[in-house]
Amino acid sequence: MIIHVIVLLIVLYCWKDVWNCFRVWYLLRKFDGPKPSSLIFGNWDVVCAPPDKLFKNIHDACTKYYPHCYLRILNVCALLMTDPDDCEIFLSTTKHTKKSLIYDIFGRWLQDGLLLSKGAKWQHRRKILTPAFHFSLLKDFVKTFNEKTDELVANLTAKGSNAISIVPEMQEFSLLTINETAMGIKMNLGDEKHKAYREGISKMEELFNQFIVRPWLTSHILRKFTSFPKQEFKVVKVLHQYTKSIIKKRMDETNEIATEKNVPEKNEMHIGKKKRRKNMLDILIEAHNDGNQIDYRGICEEVDTFTFEGHDTVSSALSFCMMLIANHPEIQNRILEEIHSILGAKDEHPSYEDLVNMEYLERCIKESLRLYPSVHIISRATDEDTKLKSGLIVPKDAVILIPIISVHRNPNIYPDPEKFDPDRFLLDNCLKRHPFAYIPFSAGPRNCIGQRFAMLEMKAVLSAVIKKFELIPVDTPKTIHLNMETILRAKNGIRIKFLPRVG
């Protein structure tokens, strides 16, 4: 009798999944899309491709079946969506905030950090973290941006006028910078933990690529019969050790804070007789100590999330932007003129206000992010049936894929979309465009909380580098091949020559 009940429950559980899958398929079949190449695997040939093929596959499908393209991989029914009106429906609401299964690869690593959490937990974490990116704290970070940029300039100078593979340089710079600003921890390039973390990120990206090209890995059950979980556990252990060492060091410093009669300023803490500025990790530790608003695991989740997102996205953006500027000398000269008009020809560090006033440089960065958004695709799982402007219904539990890079290269929105033209971001031109036609930091309630931080950091780096060097291209937009990995990358890297400016 008990066995019969167990079997019945299993059948009912499976039937629910089968029925739900059939319902999603039935409603999505009205959308256009390529014919499945396999009855079982569906459109695996489109999505489950190597990183250097994936961009072309996705972009071609988005172009051919605009404004939405239906794909099925195993039992997962997905909709590629590139029309700004449709993107707005899913990104501007507090509904549909659940991330889809393509984020599963990050689950063991980032757990319930701000990137992956949902519902009340996400809202609570966002509320705790928002003060960490207030402009008053961002102003304090400029000094560190300048110091780390000086180190970068010295490093580039030491390498001479030979072609430099710029991506590793930017990765090292941005990781050290996020540690010192958001976490308050200084770390040297030669630190073994630092090196192990970078290697761990590379291995995690290799696992992500496996996850994409092998559709059976999306099944938790089938995944257990492969070597994937063992590899993942080993890599995640290294990544967690790195961030836990950062948290421990900062917590130890916080515990040394002396109780003094004088009260620190709003953005300051006292350690003995010394003052230090607050940062994101300090705010998390305070939330933990003040009524346990977040537990230790929660601190780890957010530090893991921001250490990864805060350095890898910036390093990718800086690398592509430098390549574009190097390939457009007239734009590079105009940036230099703006820098000189604000700072003069002297070796002075820019202030927060100086960086804000670099409007043309900001337009260049925005245009670079249009062409090469670091986060090239975002995804959601629908919470309820949703009607699009076309009248078609996207059913509950469907997977929505928004390829940001294809949204940004729509010729109906951006004429001559492959051209690097910073003037697309003149105010008048921006006002004419749909607000969801440009979403390098996502949009709506789940937009990137650190986007102002990232823009300020990129301005500090680019203004210093362009002031010191003439950027000479080795690779061009036509010679690089894009890899759609966890972050958008150039398959064979990006090489640039940095010639010291005279006078």
pLDDT digits 0-9 by tens, 117-162: 888 899 999 999 999 998 888 999 999 999 999 999 999 999 988 9
Which residues are documented as binding site? 448
What CA–CA distance (Å, rounded) separates 157 from 154? 5
> Does the pLDDT value for residue 168 go beyond 50?
yes
Residue with tokens 């350095």: 311
Max avg pLDDT among 184-198, 221-235, 358-372: 358-372
Closest CA to 463 of 474, 475, 455, 473: 455
> Looking at residue 494, what is its pLDDT?
98
Peptide bond before residue 67 is cis, with ω within 30 degrees of 0: yes
Q: Please indicate whether residue 494 or residue 310 has the higher confidence score (pLDDT).
A: 494
Could you tell me if residue 2 is inside a domain? no
Q: Do the Cβ atoms of 286 and 250 come closer than 8 Å?
A: no
Could you tell me if residue 266 is inside a domain? no
Could you tell me if residue 82 is inside a domain? yes
Could you tell me if residue 10 is inside a domain? no
| Residue numbers of the domain that contains 126 | 31-260+276-500
Could you tell me if residue 430 is inside a domain? yes
For the segment 462-491, the average pLDDT, to the nearest whole number, is: 95
> Does the pLDDT value for residue 100 go beyond 70?
no
For the segment 402-427, the average pLDDT, to the nearest whole number, is: 97
**Beta-sheet pairing, 274-277 with 268-271:** antiparallel
Q: Please indicate whether residue 84 or residue 36 has the higher confidence score (pLDDT).
A: 84
What CA–CA distance (Å, rounded) separates 242 from 250? 13
Closest CA to 151 of 483, 485, 468, 473: 468
Summary mean pLDDT of the chain: 88
Helices (H), 271-358: 280-289, 296-326, 329-343, 352-356
CATH of the domain at 430: 1.10.630.10
Q: Please indicate whether residue 274 or residue 232 has the higher confidence score (pLDDT).
A: 232
For the segment 16-31, the average pLDDT, to the nearest whole number, is: 72
Give the type of residue at 154: A
> Looking at residue 481, what is its pLDDT?
93
Residue 20's SS3 state is helix
What CA–CA distance (Å, rounded) separates 200 from 318? 21
Which residues are documented as binding site for heme? 448
What CA–CA distance (Å, rounded) separates 179 from 186? 7
What CA–CA distance (Å, rounded) separates 480 from 245? 37
For the segment 1-20, the average pLDDT, to the nearest whole number, is: 58
% helix, strand, coil for the chain, step of 5? 55, 10, 30
Could you tell me if residue 17 is inside a domain? no
If one counts the domains in the chain, the total is 1
Could you tell me if residue 21 is inside a domain? no
Tens of pLDDT, residue by residue over 238-275, are 999 999 999 998 988 877 764 444 445 555 554 444 45
Give the type of residue at 321: C
Q: Please indicate whether residue 460 or residue 21 has the higher confidence score (pLDDT).
A: 460
Give the type of residue at 322: M
Tens of pLDDT, residue by residue over 339-395, are 999 998 667 899 999 999 999 999 999 999 999 999 999 988 888 889 998 888 898
Q: Please indicate whether residue 190 or residue 290 has the higher confidence score (pLDDT).
A: 290
Q: Please indicate whether residue 105 or residue 257 has the higher confidence score (pLDDT).
A: 105
Could you tell me if residue 452 is inside a domain? yes
What CA–CA distance (Å, rounded) separates 63 from 73? 20
Q: Does the predicted TM-score (pTM) go above 0.85? A: yes
> Looking at residue 259, what is its pLDDT?
45
**Beta-sheet pairing, 399-403 with 76-81:** parallel
Residue 66's SS3 state is coil
Q: What percent of the chain has pLDDT over 90?
A: 58
Q: Do the Cβ atoms of 70 and 77 come closer than 8 Å?
A: yes
> Does the pLDDT value for residue 58 go beyond 70?
yes
For the segment 325-330, the average pLDDT, to the nearest whole number, is: 98
Contacts (Cβ under 8 Å, ≥6 apart) of 117: 125, 301
Taking residue 426's Cβ as centre, other Cβ atoms within 10 Å add up to 13
For the segment 166-173, the average pLDDT, to the nearest whole number, is: 94
Residue 403's SS3 state is strand
Kindly provide the residue ranges of all beta strands, DSSP E only, lying in 60-114, ordered along the sequence.
68-73, 76-81
Q: Do the Cβ atoms of 254 and 248 come closer than 8 Å?
A: no
In this structure, the chain runs to a length of 503
- How many helices (H) does the chain have, and how many strands (E)? 19, 13
> Does the pLDDT value for residue 415 go beyond 80?
yes
